[in-house]
Amino acid sequence: MVDVGGTAVPYRPPVVRAVTGADIRAALVAGLDDFRAAPAYGLFFGAVYALGGVLLVAAVTVLHMPWLGYPLAAGFALVGPFVAVGLYEVSRRIEAAAPLSWAGVLGAVWAQRGREFSWLAFVTLFVFLIWMYQVRLLLALFLGFKSFASFAGFLTVIFTTPEGLMFLAVGHVVGAALSIAVFSLTVVSFPLLLDRDVDFVTAMITSVKAVVTSPGPMLGWAAVVVVSLILAAIPMFLGLVIVLPVLGHTTWHLYRRLVAPEQG
């Protein structure tokens, strides 16, 4: 039960609807339209995300741990939905024909710090830390505690030795499992928390239900997201300046198709 105006009413969890490949394509078109309608916001948040990736890779290079560059870049995609909250707000305002302003958009992002959004961000960052720890564990298991003078040397070892190829295979299997888990927990939950006053557990459950209800289209969308982020990260993360905003705006419109409007 929840209290509305002093009257207790039954709590209604968000209702999840099934989607098809056509819904995914329609959401992508709408996402592209939002990016074209407000490119400055998309480029800003995309640049922030790209800069974060560059700084992380630069940090491991300075610390003489170049072998962490690839797994760090791959795992960095896990925090994409968290960074895209500003893009969800832009799409929400465009949808409602509300005025767009930097103060309004950034203010909405800042306001999330005291809400359930912070807990969901913690979950996402925690999974990112698990990803990095399992990479270090697999390195120790398959390659020992070797040190590599350069990233090129690391690549030579993992692509030309049986131990390196096994590390690569197992690492990608584990990474795929973690990516699917994070995608299932966050594809709907981040925009849902921005849009409605629900707790983060309910948001994650709703997100998982959305994937389970439409497994084919949703896993297809997950594959598009992963491939897009990987390709965008190859040129020193520069592609993320464009790819992240498009994916972020698309996610908002996909959320609108997956979760039914609140009942009055």
Q: Per-residue pLDDT for the chain (264 aa), expressed as one digit of tens each?
A: 444 444 444 567 899 999 999 999 999 999 999 999 999 999 999 998 888 888 877 877 777 776 677 677 767 766 777 778 899 999 999 999 999 999 999 998 888 877 787 888 888 888 888 888 888 888 888 887 666 666 677 778 888 888 888 988 898 888 888 888 888 998 999 999 999 989 999 999 999 999 999 999 999 999 998 889 888 888 888 898 999 999 999 999 999 999 998 775
Helices (H), 76-116: 80-83, 85-95, 102-111
Q: What is the pLDDT of residue 11?
A: 63
pTM for this model (two decimals): 0.85
CA angle 145, 149, 150 (to 5 degrees): 115
User: Counting beta carbons within 10 angstroms of the beta carbon of residue 63, is it exposed (0 to 12), middle (13 to 18) or buried (19 or more)?
Assistant: exposed
**pLDDT confidence of residue 124:** 82
Phi, psi (deg, nearest 5) at residue 223: -65, -40
pLDDT at position 147 is: 64
203-236 CB burial, b ≥16 within 10 A, e <16: bbbbbbbbbeebeebbeebbeebbebbeebbeee
Residues sharing a CB contact under 8 Å with residue 11, sequence separation 6 or more, in sequence order: 1, 2
Nearest CA-CA partner of 220 in 59, 20, 68, 14: 20
Q: Residue 8: beta bridge partners?
A: 3
What φ, ψ does residue 9 adopt, rounded to 5°?
-130, 155
- The two structure tokens encoding residue 127: 């999974």
